[in-house]
Amino acid sequence: RKEVEQDPGPFNVPEGATVAFNCTYSNSASQSFFWYRQDCRKEPKLLMSVYSSGNEDGRFTAQLNRASQYISLLIRDSKLSDSATYLCVVSLGAGNMLTFGGGTRLMVKP
């Protein structure tokens, strides 16, 4: 079993749609949780950290359920520029290695 599992997609959605990605992790000792975005043939870039209370950044909302070891990302009002691969990432805390899921590919169409 992979440590971090994601649906690889692709998710094909029209502009303006709301799309949700899910992720599960196996290590209950994980302390830090993130969503990274990776454009084709580029490096991953931090989209947002995920907190137990849930957090929102503009059109993006992330939630964490520690009991179920489940992380989600919701994108509202999708833009063409949101097309990318979204990587679910966990770590044991500051200074520790990042464990990545396989990524979920999103394609937003006009």
Q: Look at residues 58, 18, 13 and name the one whose alpha carbon lies nearest to residue 47.
A: 58
Q: How far apart are CA 50 and CA 59, in angstroms?
A: 15
Q: How many residues bind other proteins (CB under 8 A)?
A: 23
Whether the bond into 10 is cis, omega within 30 of 0: yes
- Let me know if 52 is exposed, middle or buried by CB neighbors in 10 A (0-12, 13-18, 19+): exposed
Q: Which of 4, 19, 62, 64 binds other proteins (CB under 8 A)?
A: 4
Q: Does 95 contact other proteins by CB under 8 A?
A: yes
Closest distance between other proteins and the C-beta of residue 77, in Å?
26
Site for other proteins in 51-80 (CB under 8 A): none
Interface residue with other proteins, options 26, 46, 56, 70 (CB under 8 A): 46
> Is residue 22 within the footprint of other proteins (CB under 8 A)?
no
